[in-house]
Every structure is written in C-alpha cells, then in structure tokens.
Amino acid sequence: STDSQGFPRELKETPPRASAMSNAAAQKKIAYAEKVNDVLGKYSKAFLVHADNVGSKQFADIRMALRAFDSVILMGKNTLMKKCIRNFNADNADSKWGCLPDMMQGNVGLVFTNSALTDIRAKISEFKLPAPARVGAIAPCDVIIEAGGTGMDPSQTSFFQALNVPTKITKGTVEIIQDVKVVSTGDKVGGSEAILMQKMGLKPFSYGLEVLEVIEDGDHYSAKVLDITDDDMAAKFSETLNRLTAFAMAAKYPALSTVPHHIVNTFKDVLAVTLGLETYSYPLADKVKDTLAKIASGEFVVAAAPAAGGAAAAAA
C-alpha cells in the first residue's frame, strides 16, 4: 500500500526493533534524570572531579569506598547532565546548583556528599594507580631517570645518545652517568621518551579522580582552598593584625590592638618622669631606681660580649 504521496507505507513506518531501542533509551534518560534530582535534593556539597585515565575498576573501588561516607559519584554525558541539572534548577527556585551546568566541560564528573570535604578528598586520593607514560599524554609530574646501571646491552647506546642521555659501558651493559630529567610537568610525552621509560620499566605517572572545584551551598572555589589549615589561618591573621597595629601606631590612631602598646608607652613616660623627681615615687619606680643606683656604684657589672677574633684567640 502507498500513502497519499505514493510512497510505500512500509518504508515510512518505524521498524519495531528501532522503536523498542528508542523507548529503552528514553527510559534510561528518565531514570537518570530522576537519579540526578534525588542527588541534587539530598546533598549540599559536591566535588567537580577530572576523570581522565581512570579505569572502570578504579571507579568501582572509589564508589564502594565512598558509600561509607554516604557519598555518591555522578558521571554521564555532559549534555545530559547539564539538561538534568538545569531542569532541576528551573523546578526549584531555592536550588544551590546554579553554577554546575557551566562547569561541566571535558571529562568530568561530580562527587556529592554531606560529610567533611577534607575526609572525602583524602579517601578519593587513596585510589591512584601507577601507570606507564603513553605517547601524547601530558606529564602530571617531573620524570627523572637516576644514574646507574640499566641492564641493557651496548647496542642500545645510540638510543640513549639520541635522547641526550650520557652513558658509558660498564661490565658489558649500558650505565647512565648522571640523573636525567626525561619530561617536565605539563610537557607532552614524546615517542622516544615513552619508549625509554618503557625499556627502563618505569611507571612514573599515577592516575585517579582529580578534585578540581568545590561546590558548597551555592558557592564554588578551587579545591586548593582545602589545603589551608587552622594554623595557616592563625598565622595570616596574626601577620595582618601586626601590620594594622603598626599602621595605627604610626598614624597615632587608637585601636583595640594598640591598647597594650599605649599602656606600655604610657608606663615608660610615667617612669621617666618619676625617675627625675625626688619627692614622688611608687614601688615599681623604686625598684628601677635601686637597680640604676647599683649599676652606677659598680655593684652590677654588665659584661660585654667578646669579639669574634678575641674568642677565637682565647679558644686557641
């Protein structure tokens, strides 16, 4: 049979199998959206994590470890995650996840939690696995090959020379004379460098979920902020307070932090005046007067520090 335009109807109808597949995909998206809504409604804090070079076994181990902290990992296609998050924000006027869609770029995911952020980050960092250097990979750290024997036969000397690695032949094997930096942090690993590290049996890199950003109560900031300790905060506060106090003292502006300094300075002024009077004194001033009198009479002798040359001569 044909339609009004003369096309066979069987060519225009959707095949049953294709229809079933599209329905299954739609159901998966609906289930995923429900999961996103549940997570966004339950948790108030999250990590944005980078997931390059993280295997499925690593993910499974991390998920299992985070369950003890009532935390979940949410991964998926960025477009689908953005849509689900935006729909949640549109349906919830008090949503604190407005910044999330713009942050979903690259191979990233989210770790949601209500536990202490430092504990969750520490647990995630435990699941890093050593990995060989692959061609084209960006080095996350410096790779240095230490001086020493390689166990390779002398025919490999030309290979080391091509990489400017100084070598010598010792007891029939190639020996590296001095430490050599093969790649630096941020460099792209070349073919020769990757082959060299493979021949040396090195697995210089370690990969795992990398925490990039923290999202907490509607705000987001770098994960490096979590490295700041209470001692760091106290030191910075003390440094700032000292600067403000010095500025206030120089400007002769009274402030709470300058009160102890004003008291000490006032006491010095009163003491100086008292020392010049013969008809007035008080107990603390009497002690200072007695000490000055003993120094003047020679009863107290303040020994001068010996010069460096004199001390050395005396020691000799």
**What's the pLDDT score for residue 214?**
94
| Domain chopping of the chain, boundaries | 13-128+210-215, 136-194, 230-303
pLDDT tens track for 1-53: 444 544 444 444 555 565 665 788 888 888 999 999 999 999 999 999 998 88
DSSP state letter for 107? S
Token pair belonging to 1? 């049979």
The span from the CA of 49 to the CA of 209, in Å, is 6
pLDDT tens track for 262-300: 899 888 888 888 888 878 888 888 888 888 888 888 776
Q: Give me the mean pLDDT over the 149-174 stretch.
A: 82
pLDDT tens track for 197-246: 888 888 888 888 999 999 998 889 999 888 888 888 899 999 999 999 99
Q: What is the CATH number of domain 136-194?
A: 3.90.105.20
Which element (helix H / strand E) includes 150? none
Whether 13-128+210-215 shares its CATH topology with 136-194 is answered no
C-alpha dist (Å) from residue 5 to 14, 115, 125, 173: 18, 64, 64, 82
Residues β-bridged to residue 50: 108, 210
Which DSSP string do the residues of 215-233 spell out, in sequence order?
EETTEEEEGGGGG--HHHH
Phi–psi pair at 109, nearest 5 degrees: -145, -175
In this prediction the pTM is 0.63
Cβ count within 10 A of residue 65? 15
- Of the options 3.30.70.1730, 3.30.420.280, 3.30.70.2080, 3.30.43.10, the CATH number for the domain spanning 13-128+210-215: 3.30.70.1730
Q: Where are the alpha helices (DSSP H) in the chain?
A: 9-12, 16-42, 56-67, 78-91, 100-103, 117-125, 157-162, 191-199, 230-251, 259-275, 283-297, 308-315
pLDDT tens track for 50-93: 988 888 888 899 999 999 999 999 999 999 999 999 999 999 98
Token pair belonging to 279? 């008809």
Collapsing DSSP to helix, strand or coil, 34 comes out as helix
